[in-house]
Amino acid sequence: MNTKNQQRNPVVLAHGIDDTGAVFYRMADYLKQQGWSVYTLNLVPNNGDVGLDELAKQLANYIAGTFAPEQPLDLVGFSMGGIVSRYYVQRLEGIKRVQRFVTISSPHYGTVTAYASQRPGCVQMRPNSIFLKDLNSDAAMLKQLNFTSIWTPYDLMIVPARSSQMPVGGEVIVPVAMHPWMLRDSRSLAVVAEVLTEPIKFYPQFEHVRNSQKLPLGGGNT
């Protein structure tokens, strides 16, 4: 794959539960070597003690404080970080600046492993949670972006693994044996790099959606 001389947006990486930005060490190095500017943040607390909507506000504040308002971005979210990123994109106006959006092994339709904890962020990641139903009610808006879901059918953290599938955007299956390996496997890294070099799509028919997002949870959604 030739990625030389292609314009690259800054890439923001959002980690999963019980992780920090350091979990992206291999992916960040890989992308930097190929010419990307890579940014990571630590979502606090990282253990589910607060809702994913609150973590999404941290992501929004980080982006607002790091980049100029006119700077387009690409966003990669791993596991819980993919759902946090979706909330930012779909509810906190991130869709106005994110151009390429990648989720890696994210529980878009919930995971039964989230029943192991009563923490608010974990409850939100349960199958059929109010939080996920709300996000999935207008997931079609992700068609405005270059959106790609990457996942493995052997995932034991996202159960069922097909919960990482989405009805919109692109999909890449990387048959990695374990959930955390998705950030280190050479095949995953290559897929992320390829997705981040795709030409930006523009769908003028969705412009009305871009300008009329649903309110964040607690601001009118049920």
46-86 pLDDT tens trace: 999 999 999 999 999 999 999 999 999 999 999 999 999 99
Average pLDDT over residues 144-159: 97
Region of 111 on the Ramachandran plot (φ > 0 left; ψ -120 to 50 alpha; else beta): beta
Residue percentage of the chain with pLDDT more than 70: 88
210-214 mean pLDDT: 56
Name which of 9-13, 77-81, 185-189, 218-222 the model is least confident about: 218-222
Over the stretch 2-27, which tens digit does the pLDDT of each residue have?
A: 444 457 999 999 999 999 999 999 99
Q: What is the mean pLDDT of residues 171-180?
A: 96
pTM: 0.90
Mapped onto helix, strand or coil, the DSSP state of residue 103 is: strand
What was the pLDDT predicted at 206?
44
pLDDT over 90, % of the chain: 86
What per-residue confidence (pLDDT) applies to 217? 65
Give the closest residue to 78 by CA, choosing from 56, 39, 106: 106
Residue 202 pLDDT > 90, yes or no?
A: no
- Residue 201 binned pLDDT confidence (cut-offs 50, 70, 90): confident
Confidence band of 136 (pLDDT split at 50, 70, 90): very high
Beta strands at 73-78 and 98-104: parallel, antiparallel or unpaired: parallel
**What is the CB neighbour count within 10 angstroms for residue 112?**
14
State the pLDDT at residue 222: 30
What is the β-pairing status of strands 98-104 and 146-151?
Answer: parallel
Contact by Cβ (8 Å): 111, 159: yes
The strands making up 146-151's β-sheet, listed across from edge to edge, are 38-40, 11-14, 73-78, 98-104, 146-151, 170-173
